Amino acid sequence: MASGKHFKYVVLGGGVSGGYAAREFAKQGVQPGELAIISKEAVAPYERPALSKAYLFPQNPARLPGFHVCVGSGGERLLPEWYSEKGIELILSTEIVKADLASKTLTSEAGATFTYEILLIATGSSVIKLSDFGTQGADSNNILYLREVDDADQLYAAIQAKKGGKAVVVGGGYIGLELSAVLKMNDLDVTMVFPEPWCMPRLFTAEIAAFYESYYTNKGVKIVKGTVAIGFDADANGDVTAVKLKDGSVLDADIVVVGVGGRPLTNLFKGQVAEEKGGIKTDAFFETSVPGVYAVGDVATFPMKIYNDERRVEHVDHSRKSAEQAVKAIKGKEAGSAVEEYDYLPYFYSRSFDLSWQFYGDNVGDAILFGDADPSSAKPKFGSYWVKDGKCVGAFLEGGLPDENAAIAKLARAQPPAASPDELKAAGLQFASKI
């Protein structure tokens, strides 16, 4: 067998985590030739959240190289040249199909092999496709998904080709809400369909969701709840023309965008590494059950110190921070210096239309809504606290200023004793600002 390439460190995955890991390695003084990043995408790591937002804007859409990492967190932009300057090998358009952790060997689809001393698994998630469930007609043209920049290009082209047409968005989570907004901004006739009783059910309470659903309805987005797509009609060219719903109704469609979730990409490591809660089990430094193998971002199930349990988090903020933590731990171990345990505060955010919300902490217990949640207000601004066992454990804020968002983050970290529901409602943001 032909000898492959050997590196001291290999990062498998060129998404957000891959880019932030590269920056941290450079900060920690990696030597030229020691580090490779292997990515199945054709471009250097970029900030994925841009794809469902500015990439699809009708005016001045974002394009690469504008949103390569690490601009999403206010850092410098790492262009492909940056990697060469640092002696980091960027191995693009390369899909790894076999990982043998015992022999420390990765094999690509083309048969190339890569060996390593330390492996950082940053494979992220793949989108769940309706064709995975055998949904009738799910392979028709213009039924689109959004995960990578190529997907965003396809969607952008479809928007241009179907100006003024009808778009159906399947799913009521992040992707569903952000894409419904951006499709509407492109003057398409938009209908959002999801099976749950309200949008974003993993985070939103019924009251929070009611605001966003009314706001979207006021913007002209139609919302169909409590049913799912069971099939699609297409014309003679194979282009989608309609979405058939389980409740018997049929929606005309020129474009269908599906956002029904993702699956962590852990299949390469099945049976070779301990798993938990659908991810690869790690310690507080993101090292797995196999010494010298680390896992970060969407694929890692790690100890959430603040809640004293194991969690897997799918969010860009954790993708960035876990990658940095793992690299610090790798380099710390080599230098024999101690590294702090990962102490992550869950954080989620979204932007659509003129709206922008942030959430910190845990959404468990009783939710107490405060502020102006009238969707017809000129500048709605409202939030929610979550109270469990007498403590404030989570906070959500729509329309917050930077210092107000910082205040709810501080509150979620501190978990102060909660006032009574009436007092919390009356105090609103003041309660967080006093922490």
Q: What is the pLDDT of residues 97-148, one digit of tens each?
A: 999 999 999 999 999 999 999 999 999 999 999 999 999 999 999 999 999 9
Q: Residue 289 — φ and ψ, nearest 5°?
A: -70, -10
Q: How confident is the model at residue 1 (pLDDT cuts 50, 70, 90)?
A: very low
Structure tokens at 218: 């006021």
Whole-number average pLDDT of the chain:
97
Examine the pLDDT at 2 and tell me if it is beyond 90: no
pLDDT tens-place string over residues 58-112: 999 999 999 999 999 999 999 999 999 999 999 999 999 999 999 999 999 999 9
**CA angle, 272 then 278 then 281, to 5°:** 55
Fold of 354-433: Enolase-like; domain 1 (3.30.390)
Two domains, one topology: 5-126+263-335 and 354-433: no
Examine the pLDDT at 217 and tell me if it is beyond 60: yes
Residue 174: which residues within 8 A CB-CB, separation 6 or more?
52, 200, 259, 350
Examine the pLDDT at 168 and tell me if it is beyond 80: yes
Radius of gyration of the chain (CA): 23
Cα 316 to Cα 17: distance, rounded to the nearest angstrom = 8
User: What pLDDT score does 435 carry?
Assistant: 86
pLDDT tens-place string over residues 306-346: 999 999 999 999 999 999 999 999 999 999 999 999 999 99
Q: Are 386 and 412 in contact (CB under 8 A)?
A: no
**CA angle, 240 then 242 then 246, to 5°:** 125
Which of the four CATH numbers 3.30.1180.20, 3.50.50.60, 3.20.10.10, 3.40.50.20 does domain 5-126+263-335 have?
3.50.50.60
Which of the four CATH numbers 3.50.50.60, 1.10.1200.10, 2.70.70.10, 3.40.50.300 does domain 137-259 have?
3.50.50.60
pLDDT tens-place string over residues 347-376: 999 999 999 999 999 999 999 999 999 999
Q: How confident is the model at residue 3 (pLDDT cuts 50, 70, 90)?
A: low
Examine the pLDDT at 151 and tell me if it is beyond 60: yes
